[in-house]
Amino acid sequence: MEELKKIIRDIPDFPKKGIIFKDITTLLSDAKSYQRMVDLIAHRYVGDKIDKVVGVEARGFIIGAALAYKLGAGIVLVRKPGKLPAETFKKSYDLEYGTDTLEIHCDSIKRGERVLIADDLLATGGTMSAVVDMVKSMGGEVVECCFMAELEFLDGRSRLPEKKVFSLLKF
């Protein structure tokens, strides 16, 4: 895992001063590293009968789509308001300074479907907590929330269902 962590580039003071941004594009652009990352995460869920993988806008699409393909599951997109064309289920949630809203197509998850939720990075957990609530409200069973990386010092894991969080890389 250390080899994969070394490929992720730190960008100081982005998007604002004092933040060190974990730039995953360096890992994604390296074919062998990207394949290894997807394979390592997917291997965890082989045999779990995942029906849908939910990818969270926008980098979660990159990981979620690859996992859905590997697991023989459908891919479901969670987007910012106004980006999905059919009827949507909306969820607003609190941010550090304000609120945000996410949407998912109302017909994208059926009651009882086993759902893996995927995103690139677990930080404070606010976005993922909202997505978990959406999936459960639609009748889906959350198998796990999976991430390529986790910023452990932000303790986002504490906002998610106990024992239903997996992060490949931890910072």
Catalytic residues, by residue number, are: 59, 96
**Neighbour count for residue 85 (Cβ, 10 Å):** 7
Q: 50: which 2 tokens?
A: 């995942």
CB atoms within 10 A of CB 103: 20
Return the closest-CA partner of residue 51 out of 70, 73, 76. 73
Strands 114-122, 52-56: pairing kind = parallel
Pairwise CA distance, residues 113 & 21, whole Å: 35
Query: Minimal CA–CA distance to 125: which of 74, 56, 25?
Result: 56
Per the CB < 8 A criterion, the answer to whether 71 and 50 are in contact is: yes
Residue 73 identity: A
d(CA 143, CA 141): 6
